[in-house]
Amino acid sequence: MTPFLDLIRNPLKVRLFLLANLPSAYFSGLRVAEAGDTQCAVTVPYRWFTRNPFRSTYFACLSMAAEMSTGILAMAHCYKRNPPVSMLVVHTEAAYFKKATGLTRFVCTDGPAIQAAIEQAITTGEATTIKARSAGTARNGDAIAEFFITWSFKVKAKSN
């Protein structure tokens, strides 16, 4: 477990982190439900700030929660690495199955594959990518959406 995951697991610290770094996620009510080395879960509520005119959660809010579930795993494995590793979303794909009219939970279980991609970037010195999957479900288990977030990892250039 990394110190970054300790921060993410503390409700007050994660809210301050979101407010400072991802204010749209903070105001949308995203919450980290679970965070570990291998798996991360993020929830997004259906409420006034996240809704669309069709009485469901706006796709951008769903996308934000899905991306965060993969990004927390990436940040946890990049945190304070030596050499430092940069990370960037380079592609997204999504499929929607059902209207999100309540709390939606996005889970990514690709922590080991993300860690391997980061290790490969460090070992080879070349940028590597990984396509991480995040599945969104309603409280009753119904599939809401599936996202694939492609991350790129690259060793940061040394500054003089």
CATH number for position 30? 3.10.129.10
62: left (phi over 0), alpha (psi -120 to 50) or beta: alpha
> What tokens were used for 7?
């921060």
- Which domain does 24 fall in, by range? 3-155
* pTM for this model (two decimals): 0.93
The count of structural domains within the chain is 1
Which pLDDT score, from 0 to 100, does residue 4 have? Answer: 80
**Residue 14 belongs to some domain of the structure:** yes
DSSP symbols for 3-47: HHHHHHHSHHHHHHHHHHH-HHHHHHT-EEEEE-SS-EEEEE--S
Question: Between 147 and 160, whose confidence is greater?
Answer: 147
**Residue 41 belongs to some domain of the structure:** yes
**Residue 160 belongs to some domain of the structure:** no
What would the pLDDT profile of 14-71 be if each residue is shown by its tens digit? 888 889 989 999 999 999 999 999 999 999 999 999 999 999 999 999 999 999 999 9
